[in-house]
Amino acid sequence: MAENGVKTVNIDLSSTVDELLGNKAGDTTRIAIQNLIQLILTSILDENSTLEFLHSNTVYSQVSGGSAPKTMNFFDPATGWSATGGSDPELTNDERGFVQVALDKIGLGNDVWGTPGLRGRYSTASHRNGLSYGTYSHTAVHDCGATGTGGTADGAGSFTGNPFDPDNVLYAFWAYLAKNYGKNNLLTAEKSLCSGEEHIGHGRASVLNGYKNRTGKREQERILVEGVPTLVPVDLRLIDFKLPENRTRDIVISTEGIGNVADGFVCEATGENGGTGSVAKGRYVRAHDNQLMGSGINEGSPLTAEPDRVGLGSNVTKPTIEATPGPGTTEGLGEIIARIADESGSKALKFVSWNEVERIGFVPYQANSGGGTSWGMKVRQMILGVIADTWSFDYNGVPSLMPSEGSVNRIGSDATRIGFIFTDNIWSTNAVNVTSDITAKKIVRDVTKDELAPWGKIKTKSYYLRDGDTRKMYGYIAQEIISAYEDAGLNALHTGVVTMGENGKYAVNYSMCETLRSEYLDQKIQELEAV
């Protein structure tokens, strides 16, 4: 038969070899002779002839529609295209419709091996129904398509290139050298690698591995909005890609972004402009111009982070550990963010032994029971084999509190006070030093006799602490100081002598008390000396 001036000759090699050999040769020998005859015949063809070699002794199961596939071992000298296997008159297992969309756009029918216009130059197809349309392309197994130059689609229902615009040379080179292995994958990005199932890969030099991952910028769908063609974002992963019978959908695929990696289960590596170097590894991870590893909660609540960050988390939507970007200088540094859910010990930043025994931990806690605006940090320590919330740090094996240096530091509060403070010698270099520079004070004047009057009534008491040991203590009673000030027409709480803690208990500033009492006694002595 002749088509477009090209003469096509059908030769049944299987029957020819059977007639020559009868039952004298096995299957291996028969196939070898068939291939030799095919090679000889194709080598002597002129440029206006093609051969189709049929292998009638090959048995295929019937497909839907009741028509058997075309069995072929075929070389097209006009294009350098070759195929080995079977081709159905209609596609049967193109589950996502990738190949069918491409065939509809090309408009030459659905017989992928029997139509010369569907044979890419210097391309190969093996097994069944492979659309090797792009130059240097290759398809294998069944119902795969490759429209990109040098692209490979190997598996079931996978596609390398852009099925919505297979004849556009730009799309051909976007999928240049792209390698696609697996089931129902769409790979449009040049020099990319894909393996697994249900992937959508865009963006140059991207890598996808696992299940239902994606890379690159999202697609756009051209629809009519008030009669005007308009592009709107569309996620091919979240919709049923199998198109309706009218096949009117027009998807515009973007391939922006370089070096994105999506590895795992339902992971996404994208960016504002396709993303560059975005990495998503794990389960339900969505990296957007950043690098993330771990797991989100589900497909609708993935693990995410701000751009340019590196994060790690498990069953969360924000990374538990996160590195923020630095200034981009050789000596610049970023920050580490640790997210701990609440104040329970199980949510602490913990240091544990190999057998998961907690040794020490840091626990954030709400410092007041009101609006929750005040928070602090507890230290959980193992003391004699028991974990307890403490306020101490260890120094050379001795529990100690060592605040950092600075202009202002606080040890304790009105509500939570330090029980005992020990020092080697109050008069030594270890003594407590209090800022007393004139530049740190204002409205400085002498203490009046009225301010000293209450100290003629305040007495030193002996007592035992209710929560202390058995030793006798000496000091003042806060209520007696308040009463003495009231008798003198003063309010002790308006000074720093007596304070009220959040726990409802009074506290006394002993250094201030002794300063005032000493001044009171000095003035009494001066009065006596004058008499």
Please name the residue that has the structure tokens 């003391």.
383
Model pLDDT for residues 407-462, shown as the tens digit of each residue: 555 666 666 666 666 666 666 666 677 778 898 889 999 999 999 999 999 999 99
State the pairing for strand pair 506-508/498-500.
Answer: antiparallel
The least confident of 187-201, 395-409, 423-437 is: 395-409
- Give domain limits for the chain: 358-400, 438-530
Average of pLDDT values for 154-170? Answer: 85
Model pLDDT for residues 241-286, shown as the tens digit of each residue: 554 444 445 666 666 778 999 999 999 998 765 568 999 999 999 9
Find out whether 155 and 144 touch, Cβ atoms under 8 Å.
yes
Model pLDDT for residues 115-135, shown as the tens digit of each residue: 889 999 999 999 999 999 999
Whether the predicted pLDDT of 67 surpasses 70 = no
Whether the predicted pLDDT of 370 surpasses 70 = no
Q: What values do phi and psi take at 396, rounded to 5? A: 55, 40
Average of pLDDT values for 150-154? Answer: 96
Nearest by Cα to 337 from 349, 352, 319: 319
Q: What values do phi and psi take at 399, rounded to 5? A: -60, 120
Average of pLDDT values for 44-55? Answer: 52
The pTM of this model reads 0.63
pLDDT winner (highest mean) among 24-38, 214-228, 349-363, 393-407: 349-363
In the β-sheet with 386-390, what is the strand arrangement from edge to edge? 349-352, 358-366, 375-383, 386-390
* CA dihedral of 132, 188, 91, 169, whole degrees rounded to 10: -50
State the pairing for strand pair 386-390/375-383.
Answer: antiparallel
For residue 57, what pLDDT is reported?
38
Model pLDDT for residues 296-313, shown as the tens digit of each residue: 999 989 999 999 999 999
Whether domain 438-530 has CATH 3.40.50.300 = no
Nearest by Cα to 180 from 165, 162, 167, 199: 199
For residue 6, what pLDDT is reported?
45
Find out whether 215 and 225 touch, Cβ atoms under 8 Å.
no
Average of pLDDT values for 329-338? Answer: 87
Find out whether 377 and 388 touch, Cβ atoms under 8 Å.
no
**pLDDT > 90 in the chain, percent:** 34
For residue 18, what pLDDT is reported?
61
For residue 247, what pLDDT is reported?
42
